Structure 1
Amino acid sequence: MRPLSRADTSLLGRWWWSVDRVTMLGLGILLSVGYVLALAAMPAATTHITDPHTLAMIKQIFFLILSGMTMLGMSMLSLRQVKLAALGMGIVFFLLTGFTLVHGTEVDGANRWLALPGFTVQPSEFLRPAFVIITAWLIAESRRTPGFPGKRAALGVYLLTALLLKMQPDIGMTFLFTMVVLSQFYLDGMDMKWIGIAAVLVVLALVYAFFFISHVHTRVMMFIDPPKGSQAQTALMAFGNGGMWGLGPGEGQVKHFLPDARADFVFAVAGEEFGLFFCAFIILVFAAIVLRAFFRLLAEPNLFVVLAAGGLVVGFGLQAFVNMASSLSLIPTKGMTLPFLSYGGSSALAVSIQMGFLLALTRKRHGGEGA
């Protein structure tokens, strides 16, 4: 196969020379690490193809491949196509998120999931990338069209979405949406006075959640005074067992005592089986993707791109931070996946759409292209 020439004007050629290949490489590394951890998180004795653990591993690998293909497909969209795709996704998954309140699957006192044949899906994960694009679109349009109430509309979309998430309740996802929309208003030049007021309101909301939402209260108390044998303590034991270089793929033992080893605590599995340096490498890859996106946005003249890409990468980075920090007992545990590394097909697909949008938004464009 011949290498693509810069003179190639086909869709593939234009995409290859305009997409951010550094960010794409970082995301490809995370997908590869996700494949390795999908194997490592399974019990070592799992060998038969019909074993449930083997089937789960195969399903996860299938979803990782599908996620990579989805991300590449989404990265080829124009700005107009990104907006239209986000609008369609936003409407569908907002309705499905509301549907969870009526027919959702309850886990730990929260209705966040819809049960489908063979797997469950959390609609709010797919709602998030669409929400980021829509709010960025509204805020940018308020600058572009004098008199258009875009900022008030974006705030209204946020409040409606936050109310829906609070009713599930999903405090972690509500916090994530809040931080994303605050970052967008900040990038738009919001006065620091309003940022300070918003920060105070976020703190008050967290205090309210601690006192009046039972599972939040329980998790915070377990963080302050962890009982013997708690998941957080077990995860720290896994890191300790792994040391610098780890015990080797499939050799970890602590993962057998972690109910969420493949999802919420997959970072602890990485620590036990591959060691400190491997965990540091994972952190560096996440940090590189986030910083790379922000550096590219410094020279971006399109306000919509700045707000949308900024919101997407803030959500991506915060999600990774929350998962890894809770695994290290730096913050209370929160059922939030580690992008591309945690077990869960719908989670991997949702993140692939999010990062596909990011790749599409940060492509190099010539004047007037993809309004």
Structure 2
Amino acid sequence: MRKLLSQFQGDKAIWAFVILLALLSFMPVFSASTNLVHVVGTGSITGLLFKHFGHIFVGILIIFLVHRIPFDRLKFIAPIAWAPVSIILFITAAQGMMIGGANASRWLKIPLINISFQPSSLGWISLIAYVSWFLWRFADEKYTFQKSLWFLGIPTFFVVGPILPSNLSTAAIILFTIILVLFVGKYPTKYFTKIIAAGAVIIALAILTFKAFPDIAPTRFNTWEARFNRFGSEDKDEDRYQIENAKIAIAQGQMFGVGPGKSVQKNFLPQSSSDFIYAIIVEEFGFMGGIGILAIYVILLFRFLVVSNKAPNLFGKYLAFGLGFSIVFQAFINMGVAVEIFPTTGQPLPLISSGGTSIWMTCVSLGVILSISRKEEQVKQQLADQQRKQEEFKRILEEQQAENDIDNNTNANPIFAVLNK
């Protein structure tokens, strides 16, 4: 058993809290699944629970496999990974996939194995890795606005561009994370002003264009506009229906909740096992349960920052920060939507919400972070071994010197000299 556990290397606290979140996910997913079975009529409760177990099991396996790969190898992949991923993203955006009569152009279906996934998560990871590589590669060079715009603008456009029309919230999270990584990487502040100003102008022109020519607007443009307009209002519509039921669930939870599996609002929330699972957690486990989940993500953020700070090089530092922050930021947005701090976005709660793509891509990021912390432990162990060898060598020298001193003193004494003869 000890030998098996020794294979799980890296930051032990991250491992512990990731496993804890995975275990805690089963009760709310099991509870919320009754809505899918009895109201929507999708499968069976046991089937959905085993499906979630399969997602979690594969996710933990992904973390284990990825964390055993030296993260430095990503230096050779990061500069080019965004290119094939962007092609997949454009194919996904162009296909116009429909699921249950609803627009699902953020999904890509693999025909041979009949599996659908969201490539935006791949774009998310690949772009953070690329920006981390850029900051590491040009750390000793002076930035110019034209050069950095060329190196950063093209990959960002080709990754975020195809994601934006179908998934505004994910595109916004990616952009915000990239800006934060650049800020941590000491990217010149004067260039940020130009980029933000240019971005604001482009967004304003795009909105005006879409309003003037609705036929060329993205299919979800009206949905975005309606959600922002109705955010915080009292209008009765589908979005308000979800938010109001989420707030009712949270209010019913009070301090300690109504009890595991006893949620009532799960029967009224359309996305009770994914987008609004936090509301079900608070209803069943109360304010204390909700704060407990929030605290776990905060602790994970702290551990991610520790790994980033102790990373053996700048590439690992920026990569751990970007991937770690994006995971926790996504969690904060999911919880914020449930309490109406943010408009409805459709972001899952990492490692808790049901859904294979969300869990697996989060696990890839966690595997990379643990690989960085594993490298840190290896470097620390190497330094400790070197120090131990130096101390051992010093001790041997001191013993030899002591023996030489004894021999010299013996030969110098006349009595011992006669006896030696």
**Which residue, out of 271, 276, 280, partners 1:269?**
280
Distance in structure 1 (CA, Å) of the matches to 2:109 and 2:45: 20
Distance in structure 2 (CA, Å) of the matches to 1:314 and 1:277: 24
Corresponding residue number in structure 1 for 2:27: 36
SS of equivalent to 1:137? helix
Q: Under a length normalisation based on structure 1, what TM-score does the superposition of the two structures give?
A: 0.85
Corresponding residue number in structure 2 for 1:233: 244
Corresponding residue number in structure 2 for 1:8: none
Is contact 1:34–1:342 with CA below 8 Å preserved after alignment? yes
- Give the CA deviation at 1:58: 1.5
Q: Which amino acid aligns with 1:258?
A: L
**Which residue, out of 46, 61, 68, partners 2:60?**
68
User: Measured at CA, do residues 210 and 326 of structure 1 come closer, stay the same or move farther in structure 2, by a change above 3 Å?
Assistant: farther
User: Measured at CA, do residues 210 and 221 of structure 1 come closer, stay the same or move farther in structure 2, by a change above 3 Å?
Assistant: farther
Distance in structure 2 (CA, Å) of the matches to 1:102 and 1:66: 30
Q: Which amino acid aligns with 1:121?
A: F
1:23 aligns to 2:14 (yes or no): yes
SS of equivalent to 1:115? strand
**Which residue, out of 102, 120, 126, partners 2:122?**
126
Distance in structure 2 (CA, Å) of the matches to 1:208 and 1:336: 27
1:51-62 to 2 correspondences below 5 Å: 51-62=43-54
Distance in structure 2 (CA, Å) of the matches to 1:152 and 1:344: 36
**Which residue, out of 135, 149, 161, partners 2:131?**
135
Residue ranges of structure 2 left out of the alignment (5+ in a row): 211-220, 383-421
Distance in structure 2 (CA, Å) of the matches to 1:266 and 1:226: 23
- Give the CA deviation at 1:358: 1.2
Corresponding residue number in structure 2 for 1:111: 105
1:366 aligns to 2:363 (yes or no): no
Is contact 1:183–1:310 with CA below 8 Å preserved after alignment? no
1:254 aligns to 2:254 (yes or no): no
1:153-172 to 2 correspondences below 5 Å: 153-166=151-164, 168-172=165-169
Is contact 2:96–2:103 with CA below 8 Å preserved after alignment? no
Q: Under a length normalisation based on structure 2, what TM-score does the superposition of the two structures give?
A: 0.76
User: Measured at CA, do residues 312 and 232 of structure 1 come closer, stay the same or move farther in structure 2, by a change above 3 Å?
Assistant: same
Deviations 1:196-230 (CA, angstroms, capped at 9, x unpaired): 45455566677677774211111112213143461
Deviations 1:161-214 (CA, angstroms, capped at 9, x unpaired): 122222x33211111111121112111112333334545556667767777421
Aligned-pair Cα RMSD in Å:
3.0
Larger Rg: 2
SS of equivalent to 1:111? coil
Distance in structure 2 (CA, Å) of the matches to 1:41 and 1:53: 9
Distance in structure 2 (CA, Å) of the matches to 1:297 and 1:111: 35
Is contact 2:8–2:64 with CA below 8 Å preserved after alignment? no
User: Measured at CA, do residues 330 and 44 of structure 1 come closer, stay the same or move farther in structure 2, by a change above 3 Å?
Assistant: closer
- Give the CA deviation at 1:265: 0.2
- Give the CA deviation at 1:82: 3.4
1:183-198 to 2 correspondences below 5 Å: 183-198=180-195
Deviates more, 1:296-305 or 1:172-181: 296-305
Deviations 1:217-273 (CA, angstroms, capped at 9, x unpaired): 111122131434610111000011111111112111111111111110010110111
- Give the CA deviation at 1:143: 2.3
Distance in structure 2 (CA, Å) of the matches to 1:366 and 1:126: 30
Corresponding residue number in structure 1 for 2:314: 303
Distance in structure 2 (CA, Å) of the matches to 1:55 and 1:178: 37
User: Measured at CA, do residues 101 and 343 of structure 1 come closer, stay the same or move farther in structure 2, by a change above 3 Å?
Assistant: same
Deviates more, 1:176-185 or 1:142-151: 142-151
Q: Which amino acid aligns with 2:301?
A: V
- Give the CA deviation at 1:301: 5.0
1:222 aligns to 2:218 (yes or no): no
Identity %: 21
User: Measured at CA, do residues 208 and 287 of structure 1 come closer, stay the same or move farther in structure 2, by a change above 3 Å?
Assistant: farther
Distance in structure 2 (CA, Å) of the matches to 1:299 and 1:151: 29
